[in-house]
Homo-oligomer: A and B are copies of this chain.
Amino acid sequence: MHLPITQRSINCLALALFGAALVAYGKQRDPLPSWTEGPNKASIIEFVETVTTPGSPKFVPESRRIAAIDNDGTLWTEQPLYFQALYLLQRIKEIAPEHPEWKTKEPFASVLQGNLKKALSGGEKALLEMTLATHAGLTEDEFSDSVRRFLSSARHPTTGHLLTDMVYQPMLELLDFLKANNFKVFIVSGGGIEFVRIFSENLYGIPPERVVGSSLDAKYEFRDGQPVIVKQASIDLIDDHAGKPVGIHRYIGRRPILAIGNSDGDFEMLEYVTTGDGPRLGMIIHHDDPEREFAYDRDSSIGRSARVLDEGPQRGWKIISMQSDWKVIHPEEKK
């Protein structure tokens, strides 16, 4: 059969070539443009290529390509105060009229007097007390409406940016890179699971069911004849330190192969993840950029990182320097 070369068959061929070119372009394009060329960026790309190359002895099937990523200080800023603490403070002021006893009761009294330093001097315990007092009794819808309202306008105390703009551009690129390589990406946060679930899909493209976090107990009740879930004044899970592997076990049910954190609260998560069989990658984001973000580690009350920096390197964890590994910090720097 003679098949003459016609205009249509040339069109067909051109289309096929264009498609192949697109694929090749996609493979060659830098997936992490905000990361400085160097050993850390190379480690990430090599790890992803290794576990996704069929036939490679280190190939990992898609169902086991699970990544566990901390939120505060890893995906967005956590200084000078966890953003959920900013929400707590605003909510205390909002509902103070219903709690006249707070005028003389710490840490609430200090919050209402505007003395944040004193209010937070009680550390995690004070934060927890404020969480229970402000969250308990809310239905799931009331809580999410309240957080949504807060996030729609809340601004960062020192930069003045919307809190939701304080995400890290290099981490957004890394999330996209992992997702494009069929990783299941989970947030594993010390913060409240319901708080993070409100914005995880919009900010990170991570749906609520892929968020692991701290939680209060919950109860099935009726309000105005309608069934609702109500938050209780008791702790279900503190998803920090040894609670992170427990949270991973509870919510994910399989040991991830990649973990990223920034503080000692992430130590056990990285330990659990990187001691499993097969290829593993652990990374610690080091906040060493006082110009563009914040510089803190072993002396900080928020996001304290000492053990992860001391023991991380000998465990093979990559220490990511925000100053030298990241070309930009927040998305707005790209403008």
Residues in A lying within 8 Å of B, measured CB to CB = 1, 3-4, 6-9, 12, 63, 140, 184, 186, 193-194, 197, 201, 207-211, 215, 218-220, 226-227, 229, 236, 242-243, 245-246, 249-254, 268, 271-272, 275
Contacts and interface: CB of A to CB of B under 8 A. Distances in A.
Given A1-B7, A220-B245, A227-B275, 20 more contacts: A3-B6, A4-B4, A6-B8, A6-B9, A208-B252, A208-B254, A209-B209, A209-B252, A209-B253, A211-B253, A218-B250, A219-B242, A219-B246, A220-B243, A220-B272, A226-B275, A227-B268, A227-B271, A227-B272, A229-B249
Listed residue (A7, A9, A249) with the most chain B CB atoms within 10 angstroms of its CB:
A249
A201 B63 contact: yes
The number of times this chain is found in the oligomer is 2
Contacts of A201: 63
30 contacts: A1-B7, A3-B8, A4-B4, A4-B6, A6-B9, A8-B9, A9-B9, A12-B12, A184-B207, A184-B209, A193-B253, A194-B253, A209-B209, A209-B210, A209-B253, A209-B254, A211-B253, A215-B250, A218-B249, A219-B242, A219-B246, A220-B245, A220-B246, A220-B268, A220-B272, A227-B245, A227-B271, A227-B272, A227-B275, A229-B249
Contacts of A184: 207, 209
Given A220-B245, A220-B272, A246-B219, A253 B3 contact: no
Contacts of A250: 215, 218, 236
Contacts of A249: 140, 218, 229
A208 B272 contact: no
Contacts of A219: 242, 246
A208 B6 contact: no
A2 to B, nearest CB: 8
Contact of A251 (B140, B186, B242, B251): B251
Q: Which of A1, A9, A201 has the most CB of B within 10 A?
A: A9
A6 B218 CA distance: 69
Given A7-B1, A268-B220, A272-B220, A229 B246 contact: yes
A153 to B, nearest CB: 24
Contacts of A9: 6, 8-9
